[in-house]
Amino acid sequence: MGSQDKHQVEKNRHFIQALGHAWDGVKDVVKKERNMRFHIIAAVLVIIAAFLMQVNVFEWLWLLSAIFVVFAAEFANTIVEELVDLVVHHHYDLDAKYAKDIAAGVVLLAAFYAVLVGLLIFWPRFKNLLGI
């Protein structure tokens, strides 16, 4: 703790300290970002469905990779939004909008990828359940 206001300004001294900061970041994103909470709910539903439908290991890998791609995209989007707001001091700026829109587009593409993976894995099982 290098500053008088007790905020850390130096590098982490221990791995555990770094993990604590990383965990704080995860908690902050989940707490502050509504869309991240939606992604978590969707992920939990997918995981429950995967257990119930007894997907194989290969399918688990695809599902989990899709979930984590969406999570990573949402974290990256949050970083961009926070940095842009910091730079423009929460005032409208066309370049800031452009950066934020692109970051949001990354999340949209990741979510589209996740939906495609889910459809490829779950659609045949739903068809069998419905007798189609």
User: Which parts are annotated binding residues for ATP?
Assistant: 33, 81, 100-101
What domains sit in the chain, N to C, each tagged with a CATH number?
30-130 (1.10.287.3610)
pLDDT tens for residues 82-131? 999 999 998 999 999 999 999 999 999 999 999 999 999 999 998 888 88
| Predicted structure pTM score | 0.86
User: Which parts are annotated binding residues?
Assistant: 18-23, 33, 74, 81, 100-101
Per-residue tokens: 60: 């688990």
- Catalytic pick from 10, 59, 74, 82? 74
Has 74 been annotated as catalytic? Answer: yes
DSSP 10: S
pLDDT score recorded for residue 48: 98
pLDDT, average across residues 54-81 = 98
Q: What's the mean per-residue pLDDT of the chain?
A: 93
Element (H, E) at 45: helix 34-52
Question: Which carries the bigger pLDDT value, residue 96 or residue 13?
Answer: 96
